[in-house]
Amino acid sequence: MASHFSGVLKLTDLDDFITPSQACVKPVKVEKKQGRSVAKIQIEDDGSYFQVDQDGQRQKLEKAKITLNDCLACSGCITSAESVLITQQSHEELYRVLRQNKQVSSSEQKVVVVSVSPQSRASLAAHYGLSSSEVARRLTSFLKNLGVHHVFDTGFSRSFSLLESQREFLERFRRKEVDKKALPMLASACPGWICYAEKTHGEFILPYISTTRSPQQMMGSLVKGYFASQKGVSPQQIYHVTVMPCYDKKLEASRPDFYLSKYETREVDCVITSGDTYQIDSYELLGHAGSGSGGYLHHIYKHAAKQLFGVEVDELTYKTIKNKDFQEVTLEKDGQVLLRFAAVYGFRNIQNLVQKLKRGKSQYHFVEVMACPSGSLNGGGQLKPSSDQTNKELLQQVEELYHGERTSVPEQDSRVAELYQSWLESVGKEIARPLLHTQYHAVEKNTNGLSIKW
Amino acid sequence: MVALLPCICINRKALKQEAGSELLYEMKGALELLQRVSAHADASCWYVAWSPAGTLLASCGGDRAIRIWGKEGDSWECKSVLADGHQRTVRKVAWSPCGKYLASASFDATTCIWKKTNDDFEFLTVLEGHENEVKCVTWAPSGNLLATCSRDKSVWIWEVDEEDEYECVSVVNSHTQDVKHVVWHPTQELLASASYDNKVCIYKEEDDDWGCRATLEGHESTVWSLAFDPEGQRLASCSDDRTVKIWKESTPGDGSTDESWKCVCNLSGFHGRTVYDVAWCRLTGALATACGDDGVRVFREDPTADPEQPVFFMSAHVPKAHGQDINCVSWNPKEAGLLATCSDNGEFAIWKYNSDS
């Protein structure tokens, strides 16, 4: 099956995150009869297996199966990490949960929450020739009819992510003389980039990466934390699905750091791609200015310019450096460069950024790093162009629809401020920090003979 | 270490046959051994490359070292040893078109760049990024671009600026298996790669990025090496399937931009084992091959054949040119007929090819 994960992740060898080992932890139980054990195995033309006993009796053998529930993705078998992730998280899984809800008692039912990303909305909008808000309206209706209880917009959790990122940047900027690894701060919303960094550059690069959670995981925190307590349900009673523009987000959701061991539940249970959703609906939407990959550069730049240098920036001027996926924005005053930010998308540009960092030649304060060329709107899970449209044309259309949504300024959003107050500030910094931030772990290159693909 | 062995000549009678309206021409030629050198002790000698001026020969091998050889009088002597660049086998070396730089590709997943200073070479920088063994490095004729390929299935294109800074321009993943060799077109900014997936890919820059624009299928097993003809109109590929194929680009007359490469000649039945390397002489147009049956062969093109259907004849063959597999064959860029080969037994050999003996 052709891989849908980002180019960066493909080159990183996903199997090193979920690797094959010698034995499956869930061996299949087989009904065994006592007695003589001599038998022959015959394989028919259609691939079915028959056991032929000494007395000539033929018995069709059953295929060994492990249900998805049993499969812990321990990789005790030869299933590749990719196929495990993709089968464990699919729209079929969502349907299974919804079906189960109809069959069990109300106390055993799951509260199903679906959080939709603005990029997925834009992709669906382009595909169906609708506006993003129309798409949102229809998607909500469709999902609710299926039995989904709540439909949210990750644009909302993204506001939290942007606010925290802004704060984190200022904090790093202020300690840059003391801490050599405070800057450049590298964006962390893209899991393809994170996995590549953890695996290929390890301890060297991790200190530079922003610890602020991505919009998806911020939503995970919100839904299984704040929302759960508001509704009076425990986190494991919620089944949280997100709709994302790429497959890499499935890997992000399955990170151990986003697993609530106390409640034995993941913050995001299932990630489905834009392509996986077939119809759509709506609710109140939140767009943000800046790139189609979350607008991190835009927001952090403006905030830093104001807070650190008292400069009000209206519009950012992007300068193309090597190619359209490598752009720079600089803040200058009286001939001096105060801030130098960059947007670096795609593997070849990430290479150059990291090599420059290693040689100590990077002059950036912040870099918005994304694994996919052209950013999240061009993610591997977005809908493909129709037969009479080129990839380029579709991408342009998706970008227009994406930017057509009403934008909000996170610092001025009263609902966000209210939530910060009631949810986070009330619990205090200690408890709030893990809800908004995460950590990274260098991954050892796997040189186990089983995992080398010759 | 250095000895002149008696010359080995193949004498063939010049044959001129008429078969119908075709003329079959078999040109007799000879390969004379000039010198045999034990270059990399107790290890394979993987590759040899002539400097652009033709006066130096770089060799590299399983002992993780690169050696530079120059002629002193009648014999080739070791001028330099570059021993600390790599942690594993050095698989290939390549000279920059100006002759001032040397690039080395290693199984340690890095590519080193060395700069020539007076009579020695000093380490300039290392290109990192490949996941595992780098199988080949090659410089574009312009001198500004380099290409590398690896077992990680990718082909990387690098750019060097005036300050000797190297940056990755593109990473292309068109092959589904180990990529064995990359080579640049002699005059255009076009790259070709050969792989364990039996295919050859042709790359060009379009719309701000490099990508595979054509795939050549036909070999039945790993394609080990490639060589363009002097004008860049044809590409020779050699394979584990024991054939050498000649490909020509055809532009369909209907004006469509689809480029396709067709196989216009198939040299089969000449090699007993895998053909590991092929080299096309810029000066004479002769084609040389390195084979796993320990033999070196030279092929000449029949000048009377239809250019759309070229015909090649085996002009010279030394059956046991080395004691083990021959990994590389390389024509001297300035002296016509001067040929270098190297083998798994750690040796390289210098030969003189004469087209008529």
**pLDDT tops 80 at residue A288:** yes
Q: Is cis: bond before B97, omega within 30 of 0?
A: no
B152–chain A Cβ distance below 8 A for any pair: yes
Average confidence score pLDDT of chain B = 89
CB B206 within 8 A of CB B235: no
pLDDT band of residue A83 (cuts 50, 70, 90) is: low
Chain A residue with minimum CA distance to B210: A348
**Which A positions 284-343 lie with beta carbon below 8 A of chain B?**
322-324
Cα–chain-centroid distance for residue A315? 29
pLDDT band of residue A384 (cuts 50, 70, 90) is: confident
Which of B155, B169, B174, B197 best probes binding to A when mutated, by most A CB atoms within 10 angstroms?
Answer: B169
Packing angle of the helix pair A118-128, A132-146 (nearest 10 deg): 100
pLDDT band of residue A224 (cuts 50, 70, 90) is: very high
Which of A3, A9, A11, A395 best probes binding to B when mutated, by most B CB atoms within 10 angstroms?
Answer: A11
Number of domains in chain A: 2
* Beta-carbon separation of B168 and A323 below 8 A: no
* Beta-carbon separation of A11 and B168 below 8 A: no
Tokens for B254, please give them. Answer: 């209907």
**pLDDT tops 90 at residue A238:** yes
For residue B213, count CB atoms less than 10 angstroms from its CB and return exposed for 0-12, middle for 13-18, buried for 19 or more: middle
Residue A332 lies in a domain: yes
For residue A326, count CB atoms less than 10 angstroms from its CB and return exposed for 0-12, middle for 13-18, buried for 19 or more: buried
Same-domain status, A374 and A244: no
For B310, other C-beta atoms within 10 Å of its C-beta total: 16
pLDDT band of residue B253 (cuts 50, 70, 90) is: low
Task: Tell me the C-alpha distance between B313 and B294, whole Å.
Answer: 20
Chain A residue with minimum CA distance to B150: A11
Same-domain status, A350 and A265: no
- Which residues in chain A are contacts of B208 at CB distance < 8 A? 323-324
- The residue with tokens 């994170």 is A194
Predicted complex ipTM: 0.73
**pLDDT tops 60 at residue A397:** yes
Which of A335, A357, A379 corresponds to the end of one domain? A379
**pLDDT tops 50 at residue A331:** yes
Residue A405 lies in a domain: no
Residues 6+ apart with CB under 8 A from A359: none
Helix (H) or strand (E) holding B194: strand B190-195
Give the residue numbers spanning the domain of A196. Answer: 160-212+287-379
- Which residues in chain B are contacts of A10 at CB distance < 8 A? 173
Query: What distance in Å separates residue A436's CA from the closest CA in chain B?
Result: 33
* Beta-carbon separation of B208 and A324 below 8 A: yes
- Rounded to an integer, the average pLDDT of A176-185 is 94
Tokens for B296, please give them. Answer: 């070196």
Tokens for A14, please give them. Answer: 């996903």
* Beta-carbon separation of B128 and A355 below 8 A: yes
- The residue with tokens 């001599």 is A38
Which of A357, A379, A401 corresponds to the end of one domain? A379
**pLDDT tops 70 at residue A19:** no
- Rounded to an integer, the average pLDDT of A325-331 is 95
Residue A346 lies in a domain: yes
B98–chain A Cβ distance below 8 A for any pair: no
B208–chain A Cβ distance below 8 A for any pair: yes
B128–chain A Cβ distance below 8 A for any pair: yes
Task: Tell me the C-alpha distance between B103 and B126, whole Å.
Answer: 9
Query: What distance in Å separates residue A257's CA from the closest CA in chain B?
Result: 26
Same-domain status, A353 and A223: no
Same-domain status, A304 and A337: yes
pLDDT of A196-219, one tens digit each? Answer: 898 888 899 999 999 999 999 999
- Which residues in chain A are contacts of B128 at CB distance < 8 A? 355
User: Which of B89, B185, B184, B200 lies closest to B138 in space, CA to CA?
Assistant: B184
Residue A186 lies in a domain: yes
Query: What distance in Å separates residue B257's CA from the closest CA in chain A?
Result: 17
pLDDT band of residue A29 (cuts 50, 70, 90) is: low
Same-domain status, A127 and A184: no
Which of B153, B155, B166, B168 best probes binding to A when mutated, by most A CB atoms within 10 angstroms?
Answer: B168
Task: Tell me the C-alpha distance between B275 and B229, whole Å.
Answer: 18
- Which residues in chain B are contacts of A322 at CB distance < 8 A? 167, 169
* Domain CATH code at residue A177: 3.40.950.10
- Rounded to an integer, the average pLDDT of A107-124 is 93
* Domain CATH code at residue A146: 3.40.50.1780
- Rounded to an integer, the average pLDDT of A244-253 is 90
B241–chain A Cβ distance below 8 A for any pair: no
Q: List helix spans (H) across chain B.
A: none
**pLDDT tops 50 at residue B314:** yes
Same-domain status, A199 and A261: no
- Rounded to an integer, the average pLDDT of A282-309 is 83
pLDDT, position A279 = 39
For residue B353, count CB atoms less than 10 angstroms from its CB and return exposed for 0-12, middle for 13-18, buried for 19 or more: buried
Query: What distance in Å separates residue A188's CA from the closest CA in chain B?
Result: 21
**pLDDT tops 60 at residue A17:** no
Same-domain status, A188 and A218: no
- Which residues in chain B are contacts of A355 at CB distance < 8 A? 128-129, 167-168
Tokens for B265, please give them. Answer: 């000649």
Task: Tell me the C-alpha distance between B298 and A292, whole Å.
Answer: 58
User: Which of A263, A283, A282, A186 lies closest to A220 in space, CA to CA?
Assistant: A263
- Which residues in chain A are contacts of B131 at CB distance < 8 A? 11, 13
**pLDDT tops 50 at residue B24:** no
pLDDT band of residue A78 (cuts 50, 70, 90) is: very low
pLDDT, position B63 = 95
pLDDT, position A446 = 57
Tokens for B259, please give them. Answer: 């480029």
For B240-245, the CB contacts below 8 A with 24+ separation are B240/B274, B240/B275, B242/B268, B242/B271, B242/B272, B242/B273, B242/B274, B242/B275, B243/B219, B243/B267, B243/B268, B243/B271, B243/B275, B244/B270, B244/B271, B244/B275, B244/B278, B244/B287, B244/B289, B244/B299, B245/B218, B245/B219
**pLDDT tops 90 at residue A16:** no
* Beta-carbon separation of A355 and B173 below 8 A: no
* Beta-carbon separation of A11 and B131 below 8 A: yes
A80–chain B Cβ distance below 8 A for any pair: no
Tokens for B132, please give them. Answer: 């595992």
If one compares A129 and B18, the residue with the highest pLDDT of the two is A129
* Beta-carbon separation of B131 and A7 below 8 A: no
- Tell me the CA end-to-end span of chain A in Å, nearest whole number: 18
**Closest by Cβ to B171, choosing from A13, A324, A347:** A347
CB B114 within 8 A of CB B122: yes
Helix (H) or strand (E) holding B283: none
pLDDT, position A326 = 95
pLDDT, position A11 = 63
pLDDT, position B26 = 57
Share of chain A above pLDDT 70, in %: 82
pLDDT band of residue A414 (cuts 50, 70, 90) is: confident
A247 Rama class: left (phi>0) / alpha (psi -120 to 50) / beta: alpha
- Global confidence as pTM: 0.78
Chain A residue with minimum CA distance to B125: A359
pLDDT of B193-247, one tens digit each? Answer: 999 999 999 999 988 889 999 999 999 999 999 999 999 999 999 999 999 999 9
Same-domain status, A267 and A329: no
pLDDT, position A337 = 94
Same-domain status, A173 and A251: no
B133–chain A Cβ distance below 8 A for any pair: no
pLDDT band of residue B17 (cuts 50, 70, 90) is: very low
Average confidence score pLDDT of chain A = 83
**pLDDT tops 50 at residue B4:** no
CA-based torsion, B226, B229, B233, B239: positive or negative: negative
pLDDT, position A422 = 80
* Beta-carbon separation of A355 and B208 below 8 A: no
- Which residues in chain B are contacts of A371 at CB distance < 8 A? none
CA-based torsion, B71, B76, B80, B86: positive or negative: positive
**Closest by Cβ to B173, choosing from A7, A323, A351:** A7
Same-domain status, A273 and A301: no
* Beta-carbon separation of B129 and A351 below 8 A: yes
CA distances in angstroms from B167 to A329, B125, B145, listed in the order given: 21, 11, 10
B164–chain A Cβ distance below 8 A for any pair: no
Residue A392 lies in a domain: no
pLDDT, position B12 = 35
Same-domain status, A171 and A299: yes
Cross-strand bridge partners of residue A349: none
**pLDDT tops 70 at residue A285:** no
**pLDDT tops 90 at residue A403:** no
Which of A337, A357, A379 corresponds to the end of one domain? A379
pLDDT, position A390 = 87
**pLDDT tops 60 at residue B18:** no
pLDDT, position A21 = 44
Same-domain status, A375 and A308: yes
* Beta-carbon separation of B167 and A324 below 8 A: no
CA distances in angstroms from A289 to A58, A130, A300, A338, listed in the order given: 69, 21, 12, 22
Query: What distance in Å separates residue A74's CA from the closest CA in chain B?
Result: 24
* Beta-carbon separation of A355 and B169 below 8 A: no
**pLDDT tops 50 at residue A1:** no
CB A293 within 8 A of CB A375: yes
- Rounded to an integer, the average pLDDT of A177-181 is 93
Residue A238 lies in a domain: yes
Residue A125 lies in a domain: yes
* Beta-carbon separation of B171 and A13 below 8 A: no
Residue A441 lies in a domain: no
- Which residues in chain B are contacts of A7 at CB distance < 8 A? 171, 173
